[in-house]
A = this chain, B = another copy of it.
Amino acid sequence: MDSAERVDLVIARLKDTGEVAVAELAEASGHSEMTIRRDLDRLESQGVLRRVRGGAVSLVPRGQEPPYVLRERQAVEAKRRIAAQVAALVPTGAAVALDSGTTALEVARELAGRPVTVMPLSLQGADVLARSAETTVLVAGGEVRPGELNLHGPLAEASLAAVRFDAAVVGCCGVSAGEGVTAHDLQDVAVKRAMMRSSQRTIAAADSTKIGLVTMGHVCPVGDIDTLVTDDGAPEDAIAEIRAAGVDVVTV
């Protein structure tokens, strides 16, 4: 069991019971207690949990979005496939607004090096794209959320309003036919709306675990999306409902 698997184990236990013990994890993973402690220390510095004597307790309240360092470990393969499909939908020379989040970051990796114009809404996205001389990067302004490194606030919205895009690539926390596109954070909602306002088309990217989910911040009715790219793990009926709303759903 390597480092990544151990973290997964810790996360699973935390989700289950809200706390973990060093000795128990060492037993379950087959590694020494010292290694477990180092894992937990790292996760503590990332804001995932808080160390207590003998173990750790969860810091991620139920219903809230897990921190970036956890989300980037989830559905990695699906996100990569989705990102490749999204990038294929962006023609050469196009201008796109690119959301923050782990899926959008994969899209950035796919777009980097292609002759397109991209406005990323996160610093990681900007970093990835700016390495390539072929790609024009027009970074949005805004306040940076620590840890998440996404851009939000009035400056971000003003940046988006100042440009017109061929497409907006939007990540999200939930997509359902009834409640539409939803996100965890209200400031993100405002940014996503601004992206869509400035774009001719909206491409939503969401792995299948997001299909059918509803979170707090309402972005738009599902019909406002032009294309939804997801993986093939989503329930058939949920996809059918979304299609019925006029969305072009692409599964990869």
Question: A143 to chain B: which residues have CB within 8 Å?
Answer: 136-139
Chain B CB within 8 A of A55 CB: no
Q: Residue on B with the closest CB to A160? A: B141
CB distance from A101 to the nearest CB of B (A): 16
Interchain CB contact under 8 A, B138 and A139: no
Q: Interface of chain A, helix or strand or loop or mixed? A: mixed
Q: Which residues from chain A sit less than 8 Å from chain B, CB to CB?
A: 123, 126-127, 129-130, 132-133, 136-144, 146-147, 149, 151, 153-156, 158-159, 162-163
Question: A138 to chain B: which residues have CB within 8 Å?
Answer: 141-144, 153, 155
Known: A130-B146, A146-B132, A147-B133. A141 touches B155 (CB 8 A): yes
Interchain CB contact under 8 A, A139 and B144: yes
A-B contacts besides A130-B144, A141-B159, 4 pairs, CB < 8 Å: A129-B144, A137-B144, A138-B143, A158-B158
Interchain CB contact under 8 A, A139 and B136: no
Interchain CB contact under 8 A, A127 and B130: no
- Choose from B139, B142, B144, B162 the contact partner of A151 (Cβ within 8 Å): B139
Interchain CB contact under 8 A, A155 and B146: no
Question: A132 to chain B: which residues have CB within 8 Å?
Answer: 146
23 residue pairs from A and B, CB less than 8 Å apart: A123-B126, A123-B127, A123-B139, A126-B126, A126-B144, A127-B127, A130-B144, A130-B146, A130-B149, A136-B143, A138-B143, A139-B141, A139-B142, A140-B141, A140-B155, A141-B141, A141-B142, A141-B155, A141-B156, A141-B158, A141-B159, A158-B158, A158-B162
